[in-house]
Amino acid sequence: MTTTVPTTGAAPSTTTPKQASTAKLDAPALVARLRAGFASGRTRPIDWRRAQLKALRTLLTERESELLDALAADLGKPRLEAWATDIGFVINEIDYFLKHLRRWTKPARVRTPLATKPSKARVVREPLGLVLIIAPWNYPVQLSLSPLVGAIAAGNVTVLKPSEVAPATSAVLARLVPEYLDPDAVAVVEGAVPETQALLAQRWDHILYTGNGRVGRVVMEAAAPHLTPVTLELGGKSPAIIDASANLEVAARRIAWGKFLNAGQTCIAPDYVLVARGLEDRFVELVRRCVFDFYGQDPKASPDFARVVNGAHFDRLVGLLDSGTPAVGGEHDAATRYIAPTVLRDVTPESPVMQEEIFGPILPVLPIADAEEAVAFVNGREKPLALYVFAKDASVVRTVLEGTSSGGACVNATLFHVAVTELPFGGVGESGMGAYHGKASFDVFSHAKSVLKRATRPDPALAYPPYTERKEKLTRRFL
């Protein structure tokens, strides 16, 4: 099957330069080698899985500086921000798995009904086999290695395809992963569209893709001939709703932080704000103060504000600035791929900035009358990956959460739900399907096999033909 695969970035579609492959990819040979590794049984023992997770943790700690340098080169990420969101995040995930993995892998006993007795039944978690992880560029360490943690822990062999749009990080991962992890169980493939096409043409036991909906559809199309299950972590326009009862200062600060982290290049960043009518001016002024507090009078000079990943995405974002009036920011510099933290006023629902996921440091602000209008506004669009509601009034929170559907949600916060390892992370509808993080990662990369063991005696004739009237009465009574 030949499938056209666009670049695998997490943002709305743009044309990006193709990265030259370091070597010609022989995808069938790679798949055959890894399948042989899986068939050997090497990945099944719990001790092997734990050893690989510990080795991955060692990679993140020993080679932290190289990873941080790569993240700075690709996205201008501040070191603390990069460590917390890319490296520290994965370390926490690994530690959680090491704590719980033995319990998760134990067969789970279940009760059996009278009709099957004497018998015992259990659910056995077994690895799926060969997994493909296609990662995006915006958090290129976290979104490559966090799903890899789940795949390894479940006992799979894995091919990891980092994004060519973050070439420095891709190169570091391709160099370091074989130094620390079993090369017969984990492989990193660099490259761009041709390499992704070649990989998707193979048969996989599971594919996890993080990116945009257009490429997500391509992944599903490629998976369909083999009936390969997919997990799609997509995006969408995640709203932040501010009720009249909200603590406006806290709302402004937390929305500004969630929006301008990584220069807005976060799949769950607040994409736009619906604020109670009459509070717009105050909210915008509070965000202005937050920008000053976070990044100083000139955010361009701040070491704590990241950059847009490349020229194509920069040009797309600059074009969106014309969708409204910049009330905060609006400045930009193509030479350094800098776009200031920006708040747009005078935006309409029909404005270009409201038609696609922004994926940059631009925050449209629209007034709404109340929670009911906010719910109607959100429900008039595709289901978002995240939703944020700021309110002290519990009835407002209930109205929003019960009246909308989103991959995840926060009340009086942004982004932090992904930091809770016990919470599955995933989308719904246009924002994705399936979930991972913590136990959800182990589950998504495992098959829950039902096993029943029945004694050979007694073996009553009741279960076998011929079906007499007496057998029917007994069956109806005890089944």
How high is the pLDDT of residue 307? Answer: 98
The answer on 243 and 230 residing in a single domain is no
How high is the pLDDT of residue 62? Answer: 98
Tens-binned pLDDT, residue by residue, of the chain (479 aa): 333 333 344 555 443 334 434 468 999 999 999 999 999 999 999 999 999 999 999 999 999 999 999 999 999 999 999 999 999 999 999 999 999 999 999 999 999 998 888 999 999 999 999 999 999 999 999 999 999 999 999 999 999 999 999 999 999 999 999 999 999 999 999 999 999 999 999 999 999 999 999 999 999 999 999 999 999 999 999 999 999 999 999 999 999 999 999 999 999 999 999 999 999 999 999 999 999 999 999 999 999 999 999 999 999 999 999 999 999 999 999 999 999 999 999 999 999 999 999 999 999 999 999 999 999 999 999 999 999 999 999 999 999 999 999 999 999 999 999 999 999 999 999 999 999 999 999 999 999 999 999 999 988 888 899 999 998 888 888 77
The answer on 252 and 214 residing in a single domain is no
The reported pTM is 0.94
93 among known catalytic residues: no
Q: Where in the sequence is the domain holding 217, given as residue range(s)?
A: 27-234+432-449
The answer on 260 and 299 residing in a single domain is yes
The answer on 442 and 416 residing in a single domain is no
298 CB neighbour count, 10 Å cutoff: 11
CATH number for position 257: 3.40.309.10
Q: How far apart are CA 393 and CA 239, in angstroms?
A: 18
Please tell me what DSSP assigns to residue 46: H
The answer on 339 and 261 residing in a single domain is yes
Q: Are 215 and 15 in contact (CB under 8 A)?
A: no
How high is the pLDDT of residue 462? Answer: 84
- Quick one: which of 227, 196, 234, 240 has its CA closest to 212? 234
Strand spans (E) along 325-465 = 325-328, 332-333, 338-339, 342-345, 362-368, 386-390, 408-411, 425-426, 432-433, 435-436, 446-454
- Quick one: which of 312, 315, 296 has its CA closest to 304? 296
CATH number for position 93: 3.40.605.10
Annotated active-site residue in 267, 290, 410, 430: 267
Does any domain span residue 269? yes
Q: How far apart are CA 474 and CA 48, in angstroms?
A: 51
Q: Which segments of 201-330 does DSSP mark as H helices, in order?
A: 213-223, 248-260, 280-295, 311-320
How high is the pLDDT of residue 478? Answer: 76
How high is the pLDDT of residue 10? Answer: 55
The domain boundary residue, chosen from 420, 441, 467: 420
How high is the pLDDT of residue 12? Answer: 57
Pairing label, strands 432-433, 230-233: antiparallel
How high is the pLDDT of residue 24? Answer: 87
Annotated active-site residue in 190, 195, 233, 280: 233
How high is the pLDDT of residue 116? Answer: 87
How high is the pLDDT of residue 476? Answer: 86
How high is the pLDDT of residue 176? Answer: 98
233 among known catalytic residues: yes
- Quick one: which of 187, 211, 212, 209 has its CA closest to 200? 209
- Measured CA distances, 16 to 7, 74, 195, 311, 312 (Å): 7, 14, 15, 8, 6
Number of domains in the chain: 2
Does any domain span residue 365? yes
The answer on 253 and 211 residing in a single domain is no
- Enumerate the β-bridge partners of residue 125: 448
